Each structure stands twice: as C-alpha cells, then as structure tokens.
Amino acid sequence: MTYYNAIKAAVAGKKQGENEKRHDVVRTIEPESGPWGEFTDMVYCDANTWAIGFRQRVEKPCDNCDDTALNALELLCGKKDGTPVKLITSHKGFWGDWGDNVRCPGKNNFLKGVSFKIEEPQETGDDTAANDCQFACSQSSNIFASKDDPWGNWKQMKYCPPSTAICGFSLKLENIQHEGDDTAVNGAKFDCCTL
C-alpha cells in the first residue's frame, strides 16, 4: 500500500468537528484568485496539527471542450514530528484526476504560504481561472503539485504570520454551469493557526 493510500484509508471521509473553527486561528490569508465562484465551508486540521502537504485534482486539457483546470485541493494535516494525521478537503470537485500527495519534508515543517496560477478572464474564450497551486514550507523551499494545467500566471505568494502555519481552508468554487463556461476552482482562503 502506498504512503498516500495508507493515509487515505485511515481518514476516508469528513470527521466530526472538521468544520468547527479552531480557537488558535490568528489570521486568514487569501491569495489572488479568479473572479467566479463562492466560498465553500472552511475545514480544519485537528487541534495540535497543521497542514504539511497537499494534492490537487486537475482536469487535463481537453482540446475542443470546456476546460476547467484546477477542480479541488486536499490538505494533509500532521503533527510537529512530521507524522501525517488526516486529509481534509472542502469540496471534491467535479472533473479531472487527483495527483500524488506532496509534502514538506522532516519535522516542524508546515505549509506557511500559498500562491495560485490564475488565467485571466478570456472574454469570448474558454475560462479556466485557477490552474495550479504552490505552497511555501516553513523550513524548506516551495512544493508544487504533481498535476497542473498550462494556462495562466503565478500570482504573489501570501504568507501566514511568524510562528503560525496553515491549519484550514475554504475553496472558492464555481458550481457547474451546465450550458455555460465552467471554471471550477478560482482560488481559496486559508486560516493560519499558532504553532
């Protein structure tokens, strides 16, 4: 069983309390995002755990169809010793495949900053909004997802305050438009909790 599948098997589905706001939230950061969608419910890592990794669901380019690119994010929560504890997501998305989990290596190394690759509105063309996401680790370099799409430009990284790390998030998600132009994920906001 792979590392990711072992974690997934242990934590499948939302757990009670996942939507309850933590008492140690210091700030909410919101990186630049696309213009469409509404925020989903905020979901949180358990107390005394923070985000140490992530994976994303991306619809690959589909040529003459309605591309959506980034469809969902999932954060891997872990303890200070680096032990993974659970996976959280605020929405599973609609289209595409999940990439592999990537994480900050070692102990006391948490997600502290985030940036999206955003395609600007295309007027009469096919809009995709968010195409990719990257995170800054507190004690190492940035980590990138194993799946992404080619459109857009990286926006400015937004960081948690010192001595905090990402502990929860909410996706900015456009619902299915049926006959309209779908974009799915446009961005997200993240809560930073005291370490």
**In a domain? residue 28:** no
pTM: 0.85
Higher pLDDT, 38 or 149: 38
Q: Given a cut of 80, is residue 3 above it in pLDDT?
A: no
Contact 43, 170 (CB under 8 A): yes
Over residues 111-140, the pLDDT tens digits come to 999 999 988 888 777 767 788 999 999 997
**In a domain? residue 9:** no
**In a domain? residue 6:** no
Domain that holds residue 63: 33-194
**In a domain? residue 3:** no
Residue 2's pLDDT is what? 44
Count of domains observed in the chain: 1
**In a domain? residue 1:** no
The CATH number for 103's domain is 2.100.10.20
* Mean pLDDT of the 178-193 span: 86
Share above pLDDT 90 across residues of the chain, in percent, rounded to a whole number:
58
**In a domain? residue 159:** yes
What is d(CA 32, CA 137) in angstroms, rounded to the nearest whole number? 19
Q: How far is CA 62 from CA 14, 66, 87, 129, 180, in A?
A: 31, 7, 29, 15, 16
Q: Given a cut of 50, is residue 14 above it in pLDDT?
A: no
Of 6, 13, 15, 72, the residue nearest 47 (C-alpha): 15
